[in-house]
Structure formats: C-alpha cells, structure tokens
Chains A and B, each alone.
Chain A
Amino acid sequence: MAVIIKFKGNPVLLNIRNIAWEYSDIIPDFQVGETSCVLYLSLKYHRLHPEYIFRRIEELGNRYLLRILLIFVDVPDNQSYIRELTKLTMDNNITVIVSWSIEESGRYLETFKSYENKPPDLIKEKVDNDYYSKLTDFLTQVKSINKTDVLTLISNYGTVRQIVEASPTSLVSCSGFGDQKANRLASTFREPFIAKKKT
C-alpha cells in the first residue's frame, strides 16, 4: 500500500499491522488498489482546518474509480460534521466511511488493500446447509423463540414437519412454551406467504 509522505508520524499508521506499506509520491492519502484511493480525515483536525479537505478533494480531481473519505470520529456532536462532509463528497463522487476509533480506521485501510482482489462471494447469497444452524435460523425468526426452545421442539417432535403440524395446545405442553409463544409459533406456520392484496 502506498502512503503519502506527509503522513509520517500519523498514529493511524501504527494501526496498520497486517499489510506492508511504504511512503510514496501520490495525490491521495492512501492508495489501496490500482483504481482505489482513500482520503483520511480526523474530525478534530477538520474542526480546526475546515478548508483542508476542500483542497484535498480538489487536488484529487477525477482520479481513481473508488474514492473513499475515511472519517475518524474523535469529537462528540459529530453528526453535523458528518452531514456536511456527506453533502460535500456526494457532489464529488466520494464515498464516506465513518470509523470510531483509530484501530478501526487502520483496519479499514488494511481491509481495502488486502481485499483488493477478493471476489464478493462473502456477501453474496450463501449455500450453508448445516442442519442445526439452518434449523435454528428457521425457528428463531419467530419472535421470542430462543435456542433452548429450538432444542425443546426438535427433541420433542423429531422432525420439522411435526413441529409445523403441532397445534398450539400441543406446543404448550413443551416446557418453556407459554400460551403466547405457542400460539405465535403455530400461527406463523399457518400465516399465508402472500398478504391479501392491498393495492
């Protein structure tokens, strides 16, 4: 990763531990990929020198495809600054990322560089077929069903089909199921997918 020379001594550099970096003669603060760059701004600094970031953005011009403004929030009452910076960057095709600690800032920089060529599979739909985690996901979607209840249900009924078929009266006999919980679960299984038409 390339870092602009004047960043020497900036504490954020101490928090970049997982990747190698070097000083280099670049226009943005950090170059984290062939087409991506990061500008770094601490709000404390911004409060003292509000004109600084304008200048930097101007210098940056239209270079790079992915342009990030990494804001380090180190002052209270920060929403107005974030709002103002959001407006500014929106007009200049820059994306804002907010971080709340110096470690987090460092982590963002590291991650951008190390994920540079990573495909987005991680955030795409996943095919995870572990039975219990799926089962837990499935049942805990219903409000107030917790993991203990998942165990209770599967151990008492044996199959998901049996759970789905169970009547509220039958569910109530499972330990840990009150009237409300039993009723809620049973009615969710019978709630139609399609809400009756509204429009």
Chain B
Amino acid sequence: MTNPDNATKLSNENKLKIKNNKKKQVDGDGLVIMSKGLGLRKVLLAFLNIYSHNKNLVILLNTSQQEIESLKAELAIVQKSRNGQSFLKVINNETPSSERHSIYINGGMLAITSRILVVDMLTKVIPTHLITGFLINHAHTITETSMEAFILRLFRQENKVGFIKAFSDSPESFIYGIWKLEKIMRTLFIRSVYFWPRFHLAISKELEKNRIRVIEIRVPLSPNMKTIQTSLIECLESTLLDVKKLTNYVDIDFNIENALFRSFDKIIRIQLDPIWYNISNRAKKVVNDLKTIRSLIDYLLSYDCVAFYSLLETILAENAPTSIFQQENSPWLLLDAANTVFSLAKNRVYINTTDPKELENCKVTAELKHLMPKNTLPILEELPKWKILKSIICEIFDEIDPIKKNKKILIMVNSRRTSIQLKMILSLFKKNEINGSYFLMNKLLENFFKWKKKMLYINKNSNTSNNNEKLNNSYFNTQKNTNNQKLGGRYSTLNNTSSSGGGRRRVRKSKIATNINFIQTHISNNAEELKMKLEEEEQEFGEYLPFDIKLEDEMENEDENIIIREYSNTRFFKQNTIEEDYKLLEDINPDYVIIYDPNLNFIRNLEIYCASLKKKKIPKVFMLIYDNSIEEQRYLSQIRREKYAFERLIREKSVMAIPIDQDGRIKLQPEDDFWREINSRIAGGQLEKGYKKQVIVDVREFRCSLPLLIHTKEINVKPCTLIVGDYILTPIHCVERKSINDLIQSFKSGRLYNQVESMTAYYKQPILLIEFNQDKSFLLQSVNKTDISNEDIQSKIVLLLLAFPNLKILWASSPYASSEMFEDIKKDQKEPDEEESISKGSELLDKNEKIHHYSAQQYNLTPQEMLLSIPGVYHKNYKIIMNNVENLYELSQMTIPQLEKLVGTESARLIYNFFNSTPKDKMN
C-alpha cells in the first residue's frame, strides 16, 4: 500500500487530485497518522471518491453527522465533474431497517452509525462477507471495547479479504498510556502504520516552494489584564496543589504548561476515575475548579471586559452562602490572588469615585447614565487587539489601489462570539466613529446593570439575608465604619458604595472568614445598591441580553471587503455550508488574511493553499498574538508537543513487534483448527461456526461494551427492542444492567423501582447487575458518617431488597466480569425465546399508553431525561407527552388548556409554571 498511498498524499499536497492513482487501487490495510491541518480530510475524500462505486461496499465509520454532511457535499462536487454514479450514502437512526438491507445490497460508499451497523451485522441484515472494506476516521478514539472494535471483530470473523484503513490527525493522543499505538493497531487488525508529520521531508519540501510570509504582531496585554492573568495562574497553581493534597493518588507532571491544555483535565480524570466514588466532594469541586480557572484565562483574552466581569460575578453568586445551590465554596475564591482578579476585573469596567470632577467629565450615553449607581465612573477598557485590528485595516485600506477596490480581507477568529464582537466593532468603525467601540461598550455596560438587577432575584435570600441559615448571626458584628479593617482594596471600594445604602457590614477575624464574608457582602451590597432603583422602575424579565444590540441589519449586510470567519475546527454551528478551512480559502481567495486568534490548523491549511497557488500572488498574512500570554504559550507548546509526539511514535514503531496474524486475514492450518476444537479457550476472531447459546439484548444496550464481551464468550447476541429488562439470559433470568452513575441516578428518579417491579412481574428471577467500570475502583461510596443516612446508596440497596426479596444482585468489577457471570448463569439452562421476550411487558405499555404501536418507538435520551426533571412530569405521564409533543421547544410554547388535555390540571399548571415563571415570582 505504501507507494500508491504516498503518491495519493503527495498529490494531495500538490492539489493534483488523485487521477493518476485511480488505477492503482489498493486493498492493503493501514493506519495513517498526520499532523493537524495537513489535509487528512482530503486524503479521506480521495479514498471516498475511489470507492464510491456500486461494485464496492465500503463503510465509513466513526465519523460525526456533521462531518458526514460536509464530506457528502464536497464529494458531490467532485463527482459531478465526472458524471459520478453514486455518492456517499448515509445510514443513521433515521433510516428504516426495512430499507437498510437493499441499501447494503446495492453497495457503494456508506457512512453508518456504529451502533446500527453492529445490530445489522448480528442480525445478518448486512452481507458481511461481501464488504469490500472499512474506512475508520479518528482512529485515536478507538478502544478495545468500543463499538468499532466489535464491528471489526465480526467483520474479520467472516471476511478475510476486505481492507481496513484507519486515519487520525491527532498524534498526541497516541502517546498517552502504555503502548497505545500498538493496542489500537491490534484492535483495528492493522499491521502497518504511516506517519506524515509536518517535518516529513516530502511535505516540507512541497510547502517551501511557495512560502507564506506571516507578519506577526505581538500585542501587549493591558496592565490590568497582565495582573489578572498572573493572578489566575497563581490560582491555578494553588488549585493544582490542592488537587494533589486532597487525593494523594494523582501522579502528574504538575507544571503549569500542562495545565493549560484541555487534555490535562482528561489526564487527571483518568487518574482519579478509579477512586472517583471515594474522593470527597471537596476534591471533586477542586478538580472542577481547575477547568473553571483555565477557561477564565481564555476568556480574559477573548471576552470584552464587561462580559468577563459578569462571568466572575456569576461564579461568585454560585459560591455565595445565599446561593441557590447549597454547596461548598471553591477554595481558590478565597485566595488573595482571586481577590486581585475580582477587583481588577471590576476596575476594567468601572471604578467608584467620589471626586465630582471626574464624575462630571465622564461621558456616557443617556440610557447608561440613568442606570448607573451613584458615584460610578465607567472605565470600559477595550481589548488591546481591537485597536491593532483597526490600525491594520486602516493600513490595508491605505495600501489598496482605489481603482481596483476589489480586495478581500479575511479575518479568522476562533468563535462565533468573537466574530459577532468584531463585526460590531468594525461596523461602528466604518461609520467613521473614531472611537468605534465607545457606543458598544456603553451599551454593554447598560445591559450589565440591567442583568445585575435580574441576578438579584436569583439570590435565594438577598432581601432576607438577616435570617441566613448558613452564616450564624453570632459571629457577625455590625459595623458602620469598616475602613480601618485590614481588608483588601476591593473591599474598601465596596464600602464607598455601600455607605449610601447604609448596608450592614459583616466582618470576621480570620482571613478566610473575611473572604467568605466577602462573597456574601459583595452580593448583598450590590443588592442594596440596586434595589432602590429597582423599585422605581419595574423591568420585565428576559428582555435584555448582554449582547442583544440591534446591529443585526448592518451585520447581515456583509461587507464585500472584510470577511470574518471562524476556524472550522473550532466551529460547531450547523450552518448551511460547512466549509473546511482549505475550501474557505479557495472560495474566498483573499488578498489579506488576518489571523486574529492563532490557530495551528489554519496556518497549515494556509500553507497548503499558498503552495497550491503556484505563481499567483499569495495573500499577505497578519497574525495577532498577545505577547507573553497564555495564548502565545499554548500556541508554541502545541507545535512542540506535536513534534515530540511524532518523534516518540516513530521510535515506538521501530521497536514494535507485530504478530504476523494481527491482521486477522490468515486462516489457520487445519491442524490448528483441530486443536482449537478441543481447546476451550479460543482466541476471538476466527471461529466461523454459529454459536449455540444466545442472549437477547436490548438494542439500547449497544452503547456499552458488554454485548461485545458476551460475544467473545461464544454466545450469540440477539438485538431486540425489549420493554422489560436489558438482557434476557434464559426464559426465567432477566437482567437490568446499571453502571454506578446509572444506579445513583435511577435510585434518585425512582426508575429503578419501576424497572425491578416490572421484571418481577414477568420473570421468575429478576437480576440487578451493578457494573463497575474497568478503569474505576470496585467500590461503592464509602460510609463515613455515624448514622444511617437515607442518602447513602447502601441504604437504598437495602430498601430495594426489602421491597423485592426475590431480586438477585450481580456485583461485577468490569464488563468482563459481567460477561463471565452471564456465562455462569446460562450454564445448563434453556435458551431464551426472542418472540416471548419482546412481547413481555407490552400489556404494560398498552395500559399506560392506550395506543399500541408506540411500544416499538425509540426515544432520544437527553430530551427524555430533561422532560422527566420538569415538575409535573412523572413516569406515568411522560410517555404521553413524548408521543404527543414534538420537542421541548414545542412543550415550552404550550398553554395551560393545551397541556390539560394531555396531563390533567395539576401537572399542566406545574409544567406551565416551570416554563413561564421568573425567579422574581419564585421569591414571592
């Protein structure tokens, strides 16, 4: 496969299409690992193009719906040019099973949801022996127990000829864990791996031909931002130490550089998962805090100062003693550094002053003036990049020849939010407002004060803080003058504002106490400050949004000259045209590119694009990057890490030992077959005879790995839609599987009780399987309190058993253990009957739902769970709602009379109120 494949790739770099290679179709297996942004999609597209022919049956797996859509669209364009025969066909949960068989028989290039393919392979809807091969996207996500692994196992069992090709553009993912590359290759039945890093000689040579010149502009942070960033990093450091202290188990390279990456959370979680149920709530909270702080560092650089401060306010409100969530405080909020963050973030928005001169001089819009509390001076610091961006655009405009005005400027940003933000700034800028953002910032602050008012209602007892339960009154002393206290600068600024409101000040002696108190004071203070205004003018709820500024008309009229786009790898919006970065460049053909947020993927795409331009004029590229910022550090270490990952993988490959039969293609000698017949431990993948035993499995269970493991025990897995139970082992044994999280959840919701009740009604031996995770500890949450608590999971298990004495419990440390226990139970028992298992419980549904054909329907999980948490929705009526209402949106629009028809008066009122009442109503 090596040569044609290489050629494919290089030709892709060259943009020569793959015509030359079409004849040399390759049937070899292989795993390709490329650098990000080097056009892996193009390679995939080329393969899709080759195989999209009726005489093939090639299956694309592990690809998201959105990716499929965009691949499909692009493929259609490519194929139209050669009067293409068949495009990429999609099979997902919207394809009826009756049609699936004929689609498979017709062949072509198919993109299938893994879960559906497994079921179809097991029920023999798909002719496995006829499959030409598999293309597996995002190979780094494949694990030994994933659906894809199951599919490939089933495939290799029946088909020794078809190919398996896997792709990945995340080399970093292959270096975590021990011999991950080798494991993935084994799972994929692949013997060869190819690396295409950016520093590959052929690639860099190709790209050097028409190099881009990037003008890198290092934007300094404002002094406030710099200090906030430093303080946030300090918070992050201290939180990291806390994590280490609280858990003892974590063994990570604790440096800040690692902590800046999102993957760091994953590493911590992997290490903590085995003990997750056993660590304190406090430790869990701290682990979550890591994430919060890291995202704050990001937002500091991308949010405007008002939005950033309001986010901080929300975090404070969440942690306040009066919060609607009664929970522990995040420890980092009590640090001095956090204090600095909060006060500086506020100072970027406004400061409090009593100097009448300053107050008079400040210019604000009339609406804002009306809303502002007394003695407030708006500062409204702009993001430094805004100014630079404006000057770059000015410069470009000067440069452009006025006659040939048709020059295009492409601005690349990393989120929709930034894109809206820039659109507003630029549209104001174009209206010749010298200080373009002045109006915008004023508007933002205006909305901020309106928002603060609404926030008041959400504080549980903002107006009844005197009878606050959590903070015992005994340690408060009311002091009118607190300026002499040793409180931080922020605290005293607060006092200035509060003196007008005559608020109560609470001070405690210890530093931490003061800080907790601060959160309380900070909130109640603002409450008092704003309450007076509030009484004057009653504002309707939900009218104002922080960004809801009426600039829509101008924004829609997109400028011909300036185009703002988000990077494809950070963009998640379903837009009409999902474009890859490369295609975007091709389509827009910009003369200037401004990289507003540094993005490695995009720069690589730009490189390829420029290389493809040949002698045409390449665009001028500006890149804005905050000097000495996290952004810069992250960008640089991303490059470094990728390089390191490749180097390590190349080394790993050189010492890897790959068994000759790893590809599963080699048929064993007849002699071996004989030995295997009498050997009870048969390695998976080769037995071609049908298994004698069978287990009936609910189709919804195919999300987890247990069906795969049952299959490796030489037990046939029959997918069915079951009403009662998850697994039917024998005519009398019925199993409900619960992972630990499920167990806790379904105890809480009462679903487990109902499930066990119906199992008891239909089967002689109901069984509850409590399945622990392979990587997590085999432990329930420990009991450490001295009293019996209703909340303990143990107490609930006891109650369940007292209610159903006949229920048996299987305790499995992993899905492997579950499958072993299933095997035990099935020994010397009759096989279960499909028809009978499906029919069991249908009367139950009839009674509740009246209409018969609903029973076979599938419900979407998340909306269903959300529906069940609405007051007034219970297990007895939720199905009625789901069958008669399209979605949550429709439900929210319904009136009481409409709801009454479905669920009766009481529930209708509760549901309606849930959607339509405001926190203000809740307070009264």
Contact = CB atoms under 8 A, between A and B. Distances in A.
Interface of A: 17-18, 33, 35-36, 65-68, 78-79, 82-83, 86-87, 89-90, 93, 95-101, 103-104, 107-108, 110-112, 114-116, 118, 120, 122-129, 131-132, 134-139, 141-143, 146-148, 151-152, 154-162, 164-165, 168-170, 172-180, 182-184, 187-199
Contact of B809 (A17, A96, A127, A193): A96
A127 B749 CA distance: 10
Contacts of B547: 170, 172-173
A188 B862 CA distance: 7
Contacts, number: 318
B307 interface: yes
B888 A188 contact: yes
Interface stretch (B133-141, B472-480, B788-796): B788-796
B886 A151 contact: no
A112 B802 contact: yes
B728 to A, nearest CB: 16
A111 B885 contact: no
B919 A194 contact: no
Interface stretch (B147-155, B209-217, B414-422): B414-422
A125 B753 contact: yes
Contact of A198 (B96, B292, B318, B821): B96
Contacts of B784: 103
A101 B148 CA distance: 39
Nearest to B116: A198
B128 to A, nearest CB: 20
A83 B817 contact: yes
Nearest to B309: A175
Contacts of A198: 93, 96-97, 116, 699, 858
A111 B805 contact: no
30 contacts: A18-B788, A68-B801, A78-B778, A82-B813, A90-B825, A96-B808, A97-B801, A100-B780, A111-B788, A115-B788, A115-B795, A125-B874, A148-B292, A151-B317, A151-B324, A168-B573, A169-B420, A170-B545, A172-B420, A173-B548, A176-B295, A177-B417, A178-B415, A179-B571, A188-B863, A188-B888, A189-B887, A189-B888, A193-B887, A199-B856
Interface in B529-551: 540-543, 545-548
Instruction: Pick the 4 closest A-B CB pairs, nearest first.
Output: A173-B547, A158-B541, A158-B542, A125-B750
A116 B802 contact: yes
Counting chain B CB atoms within 10 Å of each CB, which of A67, A157, A170, A197 scores highest?
A: A197
A72 to B, nearest CB: 13
Contacts of B792: 107
A187 B245 CA distance: 40
B400 to A, nearest CB: 31
B860 A17 contact: no
Given A125-B750, A148-B315, A194 B883 contact: yes
Counting chain B CB atoms within 10 Å of each CB, which of A90, A157, A182, A194 scores highest?
A: A194
B628 interface: no
Given A174-B545, A189-B888, A98 B811 contact: yes
Contacts of A111: 788, 794-795, 798
Contact of B862 (A65, A86, A104, A191): A191
A158 B454 CA distance: 7
B871 A103 contact: no
A125 B786 CA distance: 27
Given A120-B799, A190-B889, A174 B546 contact: yes
B800 interface: yes
A95 B93 contact: no
A104 B93 CA distance: 45
Given A134-B871, A172-B416, A123 B811 contact: no
A118 B799 contact: yes
Contacts of B805: 35-36, 65-67, 95
Contacts of A165: 889, 892
Given A151-B314, A179-B571, A189-B889, A164 B915 contact: yes
Contacts of A18: 786-788
Contact of B572 (A112, A160, A179): A179
B869 A159 contact: no
Contact of A126 (B97, B750, B807, B820): B750
A103 B792 CA distance: 13
Nearest to A174: B546
Counting chain A CB atoms within 10 Å of each CB, which of B417, B574, B798, B893 scores highest?
A: B798
Contacts of A158: 454, 540-543, 918-919
Contacts of A180: 572
